[in-house]
Amino acid sequence: MWVIALVAALLTAGGAWLHDPDKQRTALDAQYGQPPSEFIWVAGIRLHVRDTGPRGGRAVIMLHGLGSSLHTWEPWAEALSTRDRVIRFDLPGFGLTGPEPTGDYSDARTMQIILGLMDTLAIRRAVFVGNSLGAKFAWMFAADHPALVSKLVLISPDGFASAGFEYEKKPDIPALAHVLPYTLPRVLLRANLALAYGDPKRLSDATLDRYRDLMLAPGNRQALLDRTAQLWLVPPEPMLRRIQVPTLLVWGEKDKLIPFATARDYLAVMPQARLLAFGDLGHVPQEEAPERTLPLVRSFVDGPT
């Protein structure tokens, strides 16, 4: 994961370490929380939410990945909102939602929040679109609540074991990683975010600034460490086999964070799934090439159930 690479880079920086304080919450809200943003209390946490499109339309819920925010979906959300009701929100510990008051970053807590948000917004069924960690939450929710999910779009989904993240074992986080809440050099963040792109030149200064600003929101850097420390992987095959809804896997073949080859693991246990691959893209195709990726995703979403 790019976050682990970032921590490693911070440790390597050593003498170049500079203190980066949190940014003021009011300033961040003014810059990144303008309409259509709203703040909704769900299951005891104040969520930053954007809910756009016709209220009578099909609901599409979008879940971002680790270290990201709802803003990763904006090009797709703007286009989909012409016909669909599109809901995206900052997961606890990220963006303008901020740290989880309970300190609980477990998968079960996230399922509770998603269920609570759907209940608050009176959404009975939705298409779920997720990226990376958000895609893992999407397929877990579909396995646990099949009646509430009509389709899945899983972009570079997390869930299988990888280097440093073994099944039924807590991640080994070095003690020096705790410097993260005190420093976030822009140059190092750029180097690590670039890993998410098939072509690093597509990472714009504006996107980099947004990631950095929201990571500097009060408490978010510590929340990132807390969430990482609470990661608990179990073999995903039993849950994935329970999913029966139409599923589209979207993957960039140049994904350096969750290898493209992992798509085979999903297809082996999800016979109803189809794979959409982009040879020149990386881990976040919705950011890297939104105008090229959305039409194919929308064709799947609009197709027969």
Terminal Cα-to-Cα distance of the chain (whole angstroms)? 33
Cα distance between residue 249 and residue 270, in whole Å: 10
Average pLDDT of the segment spanning 185-212: 95
Q: What's the rounded Cα separation, in Å, for the pair 129 and 262? A: 18
Mean pLDDT of 193-216: 97
Q: What is the pLDDT of residue 168?
A: 85
Structure tokens at 92: 């606890």
Mean per-residue pLDDT, 200-214 = 97
Question: In the structure, what pLDDT confidence band is assigned to residue 1 with cuts at 50, 70 and 90?
Answer: low
Supply 270's token pair: 């999800």
Q: What percent of the chain has a predicted confidence (pLDDT) above 70?
A: 93
What is the rounded average pLDDT of the residues 110-128?
A: 98
CA atoms within 13 A on the CB side of 263: 23
For residues 283 and 6, the model is more confident at 283
Question: Are 231 and 171 contacting, i.e. CB atoms less than 8 angstroms apart?
Answer: yes
Lowest mean pLDDT among 12-26, 197-211, 243-257: 12-26
Helix/strand/coil (H/E/C) assignment for every residue in 204-270: CHHHHHHHHHHHCCCCHHHHHHHHHHCCCECCCHHHHHHCCCCEEEEEECCCCCCCHHHHHHHHHHC
Arithmetic mean of pLDDT, 188-214: 96
Q: What is the pLDDT of residues 60-98, one digit of tens each?
A: 999 999 999 999 999 999 999 999 999 999 999 999 999
Rg (CA), the chain: 18
pLDDT of residue 237: 97
Contacts of 122 (CB under 8 A, 6+ apart): none
Domains delineated in the chain: 2-302 (3.40.50.1820)
Confirm if 14 and 188 have CB atoms less than 8 A apart. no
Q: What is the pLDDT of residues 97-111, one digit of tens each?
A: 999 999 999 999 999
Confidence grade of residue 290 (pLDDT, cut at 50, 70, 90): very high
Q: What is the pLDDT of residues 244-279, one digit of tens each?
A: 999 999 999 999 999 999 999 999 999 899 999 999
Mean pLDDT to the nearest integer, 169-189: 83
The pLDDT of residue 15 is: 45
Distance CA 303, CA 287 (A): 23
Q: How far apart are CA 110 and CA 99, in angstroms?
A: 13
